[in-house]
Each structure stands twice: as C-alpha cells, then as structure tokens.
Structure 1
C-alpha cells in the first residue's frame, strides 16, 4: 500500500489562538481580539480533524501544527534514492536488567515482522537465557553481549544512569556499523525500506509538533556518519541532571547546523501519540467493541499503522508504566484498548 505524507491529525493554529485568547485575553489588544476570535472560530470549525474523543475543553488542544513540512514530505517520499541504502540491520539495546518482558518482546517481534531486517542484533549487558520471551525470539535474533564496565569505565565512574549509557552505546554502534536503532518500547508497524535509501546520512523523527526535538528512540544512520560522530562528541560535556537534552534537544540543534546531513520526519511517523497523560490514556484505557472494530479497520486501511505515514509507534514505557505492569498476553488478546488492538498481531 502506498504511504502518504498527509496526516489525518492536525491542529489548526487558529483554534489554538482562539483558546489562548479565551483564557488569556490580556495578551492581545481588545479590539483585535474580537476580530481575531471571530475569524479563528470560523476557520477552526472548518479545518480541524482529530481522531481523539470529540468532547474536551479547548485548553486541552495541543499548540501544534501537524502538517508535514515540504522538507519532511520530501524526506519521507524520498524522490532521489541513494544507490547505497542505510544497512537493513536493526540494533536494539537492553542493559536495564537480565529479563525481557512482554513489551520488549513486542518491540523485537514487531521489528522482525514489520521491517524484516537482514539481521536484528540485541545488544545487552547480560540476559537470562531461560527467560520465556527470549526463548521465543532467540532463533531469529543475534545476541551481542557488552561489558559496560569495560566499554564505558568513565561513565560508570561518573555514576551515569544505565539509560544514559544506553544513549551513548546506540550512537557508538550506529557510527561503527550503521543501521536502524530502535528503543525497546518501539513498536514497528510498517516496512522502512523507502527511507533507508535516503541520500542523507541520518534519519530522525520529531518528538513533538513544535519541532523542538529529534528523539533518539529511533535512529537510522549510515556507518561512519559525521553527524553521529558530532553527537557522540557532545557527550564529553554530558550533565546527568539534563535528562533529555542530549537525547532529544541537542540532536535538533545539531540538525539545524547540518541540514544537508539529516532527514527530519514529522512526529506522526514515529512519535505520535505522545507521552502526555491524555495520549497515554487514549492508547491504554478500555474502549467499546465498536470502537475497537473501527480502530482495527483504520489500522487495516493504513497498512498496519494508525496513520497513513506512520512507520512505528513509540509506546512511552515510562509514562505508561502502570498499564504495562498489568499487561499480560491474555489481557492483550481479550481487553480492547487501542494499544492492544494495534499489537495483537505480534502475539501468537
């Protein structure tokens, strides 16, 4: 199925302005406000389309415009494919503990089934060979053990948290080997082939509609990328208290400085819905049988994804912890939530 760049979710800037004026009228002159409000309300009634519950307050609107930019459309459609594509090798890193769980299984299984990589490498710092989820996957993946104390002694000495070491490790792996890096809570939904042949060195997706950050939960890169090298070098000045600066904010700053090296994709490709409480509830709260049927039909129409241009869904495991802690294969199959409907095909 052809994949398009027009996204069915977009928030008109006019309705956001309307909400702003309603709640903070002192920010604009009174006379201009009346004219602006009338125009904004008229336009918003005609152009807003949101596949979320339709009953909510204007203050809940995201101040984002989700229309793909011209550059994002060109990167996604890739009209000038390179002769040497990014390696179709998936890298995933699990250094948190020795046990895989249902969510990590879904992430690996979906990558195998949707991307169909030439190889999937699971980089780890020690895993339980008897883990039931690992046993289901072990014949389809390549296990790559790492000794964090040997490879990252300074980071260990400086008391880096394991997720930050994993941030550094993914960049080192991609610079050395190239390929597709995926976090262990990323659900792959469609083939990546057409963006692997981008003429640019690196592919990243915007985390939010404001385009202020490029998230490192999904990274596609050629080996030896100068952009990845620069990103690695920034960790020489890493500050542990700045949780997402190096992983989201700094990558955007580097991209703005080296636009010819990075293919930036709209939020809908990897990172929509977001990590906000409202979006987490949207994905994980129970829905009716009819809503589940409608949602499944939408997924089928989009070739396995929620939206026409979506390739993966970052499941935001930390904000959604309370849901994933309770999730079992039986619950996934029997309870209708949007997340469960989306991923059921990856559970035998």
Structure 2
C-alpha cells in the first residue's frame, strides 16, 4: 500500500457493498499520514458543509474524492470498520449479554480493524460502563474491550467512587 490515507466503506442496510460505490465511503475512522493530500482536499470541502444533510460530508464527500483521486487512498471495504450496522438489532447484538459466539458477532473474530460504536444508538449501553463492569460483562462488546482495561483504569475508577462517597 502506497497511499497515504485508509478509509473503510460504510455498509448499506440493504446489502454489503463490495466495490466502491457513490455515497458509501465513511470518514468515521481515518488512518492517514499527516498532511496527506486526500485529507487536505476533504477538509476544503467543509466550506460547503450543510449540517442538515446527514452523511453529506461524512460519507458522500469522501466517496466523491475517492472517485476523483483513487491513488490517494486505500479503501478497506465494508467489513474492516463499520460492522455491525446502525440498526437497533445490530447494536443490541453487540451490547446485550450472550455467550461467546452466540450473538453472531465477535469483534476480534470478525476481521474488523475498528469498532464504530454508532454512538447515538449505543450510548444507552456505553454510558453506564465502568472498567469493573467491562471485566465482568458477558456481551460481545465487553469481551472485545476487556483486553484494553488495565490496573490503572481500575485504580482511577476506585478513586472516582471514593471521591463521590465523601
């Protein structure tokens, strides 16, 4: 790979995209070299930003630029970054308790490089999490992030609980 930018395609609710399609390249996760031309071009498009058009600059603009400048980025396809999808049933599948493998989605086994939380839908599951709850959790999400909870996280959590109790 010689391109300076890596993006993933956002999957469609109707089907999994298999080739670069207009409207399907998402900027939620960007891996890039500093000052990469593709990023400079993308930033310049924000002069026409319209907050009423969901995904306009998040999905459509990056895809338009990718079509115009295909040698400036690597497209990893839909599986690398944006599954499960933004449907409530997919979010529930990740965050509700289940036995390993039972939910149909396992972060590390899925081939994903990142997890896009779809915060507006997943916040009800994410907000109450603490390091201790992650370590005890039985959801696909807690099993995935458990590896990132260390002793220092537990110390900070303990100090916060102690500060709230005083």
**Candidates 228, 241, 259, aligned match of 2:39:** 228
TM-score normalised by structure 1 residue count: 0.38
CA distance in 2, matches of 1:314, 1:323: 14
TM-score normalised by structure 2 residue count: 0.75
**Candidates 33, 51, 63, aligned match of 1:240:** 51
CA distance in 1, matches of 2:73, 2:9: 12
- Runs of 5+ unmatched residues, structure 2: 151-166
State the match for 2:119 in structure 1.
317
CA distance in 2, matches of 1:214, 1:339: 24
Contact (CA 8 Å) 1:269, 1:312: kept in 2 or not? yes
**Candidates 264, 268, 281, aligned match of 2:75:** 264
State the match for 2:130 in structure 1.
328
- Runs of 5+ unmatched residues, structure 1: 1-197
**Candidates 331, 334, 339, aligned match of 2:141:** 339
CA distance in 2, matches of 1:342, 1:224: 32
1:99-119 CA-to-partner distances (Å, cap 9, x unmatched) read xxxxxxxxxxxxxxxxxxxxx
1:214 equivalent to 2:25? Answer: yes
RMSD (CA atoms): 2.1
1:202 equivalent to 2:11? Answer: no
**What count of residue pairs does the alignment treat as equivalent?**
140
CA distance in 2, matches of 1:223, 1:286: 40
SS of 1:220's partner is strand
Structure 1 residues 330 and 201: CA distance shift in structure 2, 3 A = closer
Structure 1 residues 328 and 264: CA distance shift in structure 2, 3 A = same
Cα displacement (A) at 1:261: 1.5
